[in-house]
Structure 1
């Protein structure tokens, strides 16, 4: 159970298609621009950190036991894996991503 690496860095962009025209060879680390008007994360945040994790359920329970709110939504259970979010003290979203087995 725990963080195993950075899963990606997501940020708004005026031209997401041009910025996304990068290729990677190894792993699922993603630097993905989102449209500037995205509602995937708050408009006052310039990026969202995504951490690749194992044991998402156990990690979420451990965070909640430490009085850290963990946000989970049914639509975040996808073909790409399972997701949850916590927020830092200034409200920056930190996405926890457990890739599919």
Structure 2
């Protein structure tokens, strides 16, 4: 049976694509190609072979994407993998980027949320390396 094998792209609606693309390049380091988008290669992951992409559905009334799901509200949220969450958040704070004060730490990484200039909530994820994961004490 044919099946999906990964995420091939992320596409967002924008009132001003040129300005929003420049914002993502400046504040999140997405290097734009001549076609106007960014190409994120799995070979860019450090350390190698640690990359993954998650695809998931949420209930229509989820608060996870921000305020409710009223008409005109955000219908999707992008999770960007980052190499140093604390450093990136400090950079974004210095640029007055809206940052949600809530943080989450889990067995698979650390999470924070920001908002782009068009009001899209963005999830930032710093995965934990195997050596950073909390090990269970011996029984």
TM-score greater than 0.5 by the shorter chain:
yes
1:40-65 Cα shifts (integer Å, max 9, x gaps): 11322100011000111011001111
Q: 1:90 aligns with which of 112, 118, 121?
A: 118
Structure 1 SS opposite 2:80: strand
Matched, 1:48 2:48: no
- Residue 3 of structure 1, CA deviation: 6.0
Aligned to 1:100: 128
Asked which structure has the greater RCO (Cα within 8 Å, sep 6+), the reply is 1
Q: Distance in 2 between matches of 1:71 and 1:98?
A: 16
Is there any run of 5+ residues in structure 1 with no aligned partner, and where? 7-25
Is there any run of 5+ residues in structure 2 with no aligned partner, and where? 1-27, 31-39, 42-49, 130-139
Over the aligned positions, Cα root-mean-square deviation in angstroms equals: 2.4
Q: 1:81 aligns with which of 70, 85, 109?
A: 109
Matched, 1:33 2:61: no
Q: Distance in 2 between matches of 1:66 and 1:55?
A: 17
Runs (4 or more) in structure 1 with deviation over 2 Å come to: 2-6
Instruction: Judging by fraction of residues, say which structure has more strand.
Output: 1
Structure 2 SS opposite 1:35: coil
Structure 2 SS opposite 1:40: coil
